[in-house]
Structure 1
């Protein structure tokens, strides 16, 4: 949340320190031992200030949010490192944390064979034997030296760019990258023979929604169909297994059994994910489902007195008290998440009740934000939608999806997109369809500028 807020803040203010903070952190994390250099995916946290020695547990919710963050950072910076992290991490998620039905598992343990990190670290002798003539290059690349030394083994981590390593070994960057790819394949294949860390194979709706949105954000940034396919498969799993007949969600799924009444985070994260999925596909069923979930949330979680939402449903039994989650932590606060959903759905459906609730929630929390901004960065992202222009982009015509893809090559956080290849009843698309050409409408506060046919013209209207 903090770094996504800084990306958005930079977009609006061009504050170079904000962007530098994001780039420095994302680069150090991608280079560090906290990132699985050969297999992809991030460990839960670093035990030092250098991102070197992680707590080796891998959590779904961490990787989901980091995929979203690196995807958006790539949209802004076009840094190839960020793209590589996203692709490698999603390969890890597909390989180790995805069930055949499209559901995502929760976590991989830090330990294997009773020792933390054993699955991930290497001895120098192993690496020399496996990498042969490429060892010298890879020893520099992955710091098989005092920098990478951890206990009696080595954690693979980076400290220099490809250009620096290539120059040091008088080879081209392209040659280096081929050596790295080959070495990673060898090491990953060898690592697969080891006893793996334990898998927490339960499926949580809220965490799945975060990962679903991570896939959508990656698809939006890179246009890879397999990312969208994974998102759609998971969304279908949630609809078919976690959505109840009464319109509510269950929280847990394991061994083909869906149970436990959903918490607010299950609803808010799923709403945000389905909104993102609509924007990626222009399939209105995802937007309608998000709206249905919002109506259920208001009916069963909303507190008229405080203007916030409880974490538990009014159907929950045996609770001494119903708590509210207001400040962001390792995942966004469910109230900040659902406030963002209210804001967007209010824009999509011209639903003033949603819009009023979102703005009131923000007013109720704004006095707390300066006390610890790091705990309210998700709220702060919503705040930017009110302090700066927020645009609605409507695309209508046969080439609507292609135009959306072109727009998605640009980082534009202060907008929503609607689109259709036929007539649509959505307020922002009503009476805008033309069978002859595809038109882009850039709107502000529901008032649209003159429609244009090219993305470049639309981008000019956003300035």
Structure 2
């Protein structure tokens, strides 16, 4: 074993038996590089990463290759999920070098940790050649490397305002500008398969969130059509686990057919939110079915005893990508017996396989019942038989060797899941979902919050690593969701404390955005900010939305003003290239029209809230109490002779209280 055997990260532990003399990211490793004047190799990945495993097998497990690495480099392994700050700094540098980013990410640094070269996956011969070239350059061309490295660092320390030419627009939000944003986004639509017009295809929740809010504001049918096409294909295609529930990280093709089989908590958390809102809007039962199945998978396979959720399931099992999820024709015949014939037609199962090496992967392009009718295999018992057939596959699959579980609990991803569960509860009204959400919130509040500060990771009964902005942003979002489905004001109080902490320790007064790292945390060669939305929205866009929501609930003008300042500076990018800032765009939609402040007061407050919440009303905040409350928007509001009342307000101006949800909906819609 090498020294990684002392770590808790599942990814680092995967490399504990490599002959490479790995260090974790640490002062010890950085000091060694300086004292021995050696270049540093930082190799970054994560436990569920297929190509990380391939490079380990081909390179890092080989004695001869490890000998070259050990002789000429100080070798550092980084779990990008544990240290997103380190990953962000060196990913930024590699992309500045003109290399397309991805994992494994292998970056070469000078002894002072400044980067000068980087690559992603390389096969063994290319890797060895690169190691020798880097060693030669370090020995014979050090000054050139140092100059290049300094250039990359200078680029990284530019403020976002300087780098992207951000300037505050006027304080007006306009539907014309919003329409212009949509037209820019529309250029990238795949109108045949859904999603955007590129492969591989990633689910992009913030794009779908924008489309939901844009449609709510404008009723533009194009937005709804693209949203439904995308969500239908993502729900029916091979990226979804038809037997066990939950989504894989992405599709390697443009048809959503074959996934990269790892299942990540952050994808499933966000897709719960999106499908929940889409179900409220459309009442499409495919969406509610996927929500229930995914929550069942999360509960059965990802939930820890304490109420927090694990990070990921690996893509590989038995060293083969996707082996846990794919089937031969003979296996399916043996399991399904008399049901095999129609099932094979439904899923295009064959002896040669619908994928590769004789394997079949479950994938649909249309609703199962409609496909069955088109194929002439639909009967009155179809739905029951279809469900039973999938359950048989789940039972048989449980006998297989399972993919590896990354059992660290990440605060940020759990915050995203709390939000996903609160949205799922609002859509479906299932009390067990609310219980899961509250339990996860209590886990974060009790296990990873220390003296008012968040820790980023939890493993082996221990919280570690100073929290990042993504932790504070996602947890705040989750807590705000919890308050609005429980009316438990402790969640609002904790949100306020987290908001104030981030302003004090993350906010850059000069630039107007939040740094990714805590001022009290470890200092790297650059202190980054995260502005652009990707598969997970930027922590700054989540925080701007939080400040708006919390400002509305608490009637805090300082929070509202901060949110507006952040959003308005993004105006130029919003109008020219919305695809990279769609979560900001979703906030822009909220700012176009007054936000409904809906207050429930009385003994039936929760049941009335539950009835209202099943409707799609994205531009609202919900407050309530069974008795009295000190919250500004509730003060002075009472029930009526024991009868619960609903107060609908806009900009703190309230309409006459009503007793029914129907009347409240009329007031909200104007």
- The question of a shared fold, defined as TM-score above 0.5 by the shorter chain, is answered with yes
Q: Could you tell me whether the CA contact under 8 Å between 2:533 and 2:582 is conserved in 1?
A: yes
Relative to 1, partners in 2 of residues 1:241 and 1:412: Cα closer, same or farther, differing over 3 Å? same
- The reply on whether 1:179 has 2:385 as its aligned counterpart is yes
User: Secondary structure of 2:479's partner?
Assistant: helix
- The reply on whether 1:227 has 2:446 as its aligned counterpart is no
Q: Give the Cα–Cα distance (whole angstroms) in 1 for the partners of residues 300 and 445 of structure 2.
A: 23
Deviations 1:217-270 (A, max 9, x none): 11110011111111111111101111111x110001111110100000100110
Relative to 1, partners in 2 of residues 1:386 and 1:159: Cα closer, same or farther, differing over 3 Å? closer
Unpaired runs of 5+ residues, structure 2, are: 1-205
Match 1:241 to one of 438, 447, 460? 447
Match 1:359 to one of 564, 570, 591? 564
Equivalent residue number for residue 406 of structure 1: 611
User: Secondary structure of 1:154's partner?
Assistant: coil
Q: Could you tell me whether the CA contact under 8 Å between 2:369 and 2:383 is conserved in 1?
A: no
Equivalent residue number for residue 411 of structure 2: 205
Q: Give the Cα–Cα distance (whole angstroms) in 2 for the partners of residues 36 and 149 of structure 1.
A: 15
Q: Give the Cα–Cα distance (whole angstroms) in 2 for the partners of residues 366 and 129 of structure 1.
A: 59
Relative to 1, partners in 2 of residues 1:23 and 1:194: Cα closer, same or farther, differing over 3 Å? same
Deviations 1:376-421 (A, max 9, x none): 1111111112212311111111111111111111100011100110
Q: Give the Cα–Cα distance (whole angstroms) in 2 for the partners of residues 150 and 30 of structure 1.
A: 22
TM-score, structure 2 length as denominator? Answer: 0.68
Equivalent residue number for residue 432 of structure 1: 637
Equivalent residue number for residue 252 of structure 2: 47
User: Secondary structure of 1:22's partner?
Assistant: helix
Measured after TM superposition, the shift of residue 278 of structure 1 is 0.5
Deviations 1:181-204 (A, max 9, x none): 111111101101101111111111
Deviates more, 1:382-391 or 1:351-360: 382-391
Match 1:20 to one of 225, 232, 236? 225
Match 1:112 to one of 317, 321, 338? 317
- Matching of residues 11-410 of structure 1 within 5 Å: 11-145=216-350, 148-167=354-373, 168-169=375-376, 171-172=378-379, 175-245=381-451, 247-410=452-615
Measured after TM superposition, the shift of residue 176 of structure 1 is 1.1
Measured after TM superposition, the shift of residue 171 of structure 1 is 4.3
Q: Could you tell me whether the CA contact under 8 Å between 1:111 and 1:197 is conserved in 2?
A: yes
CA RMSD, 1 decimal: 1.3
Measured after TM superposition, the shift of residue 170 of structure 1 is 5.7
Report the count of equivalent residues.
Answer: 461
Q: Could you tell me whether the CA contact under 8 Å between 2:590 and 2:619 is conserved in 1?
A: yes
Q: Give the Cα–Cα distance (whole angstroms) in 2 for the partners of residues 365 and 115 of structure 1.
A: 44
Q: Could you tell me whether the CA contact under 8 Å between 1:121 and 1:155 is conserved in 2?
A: yes
Equivalent residue number for residue 663 of structure 2: 457
Q: Which stretches of structure 1, 4 residues or longer, exceed 3 Å deviation after superposition? A: 145-151, 165-173
Deviations 1:258-301 (A, max 9, x none): 01000001001100100000000111111111111101111111
User: Secondary structure of 1:417's partner?
Assistant: strand
Q: Which protein shows a greater Rg?
A: 2
Q: Could you tell me whether the CA contact under 8 Å between 1:141 and 1:160 is conserved in 2?
A: no
Q: Give the Cα–Cα distance (whole angstroms) in 2 for the partners of residues 5 and 349 of structure 1.
A: 25
Match 2:651 to one of 422, 432, 445? 445
Q: Could you tell me whether the CA contact under 8 Å between 2:346 and 2:372 is conserved in 1?
A: no
Deviations 1:91-128 (A, max 9, x none): 11111111111111111111111110111000001101
Measured after TM superposition, the shift of residue 147 of structure 1 is 8.5
Q: Give the Cα–Cα distance (whole angstroms) in 2 for the partners of residues 340 and 34 of structure 1.
A: 29
Deviates more, 1:268-277 or 1:152-161: 152-161
Deviations 1:311-340 (A, max 9, x none): 001101332221110111110100000101
Q: Could you tell me whether the CA contact under 8 Å between 1:148 and 1:155 is conserved in 2?
A: yes
Measured after TM superposition, the shift of residue 142 of structure 1 is 2.2
Unpaired runs of 5+ residues, structure 1, are: none
Relative to 1, partners in 2 of residues 1:312 and 1:70: Cα closer, same or farther, differing over 3 Å? same
Q: Give the Cα–Cα distance (whole angstroms) in 2 for the partners of residues 135 and 176 of structure 1.
A: 13
Measured after TM superposition, the shift of residue 165 of structure 1 is 4.2
Deviations 1:327-361 (A, max 9, x none): 11110100000101110111111111101100001
Q: Give the Cα–Cα distance (whole angstroms) in 2 for the partners of residues 147 and 429 of structure 1.
A: 61
Measured after TM superposition, the shift of residue 148 of structure 1 is 3.3
Q: Give the Cα–Cα distance (whole angstroms) in 1 for the partners of residues 575 and 249 of structure 2.
A: 27
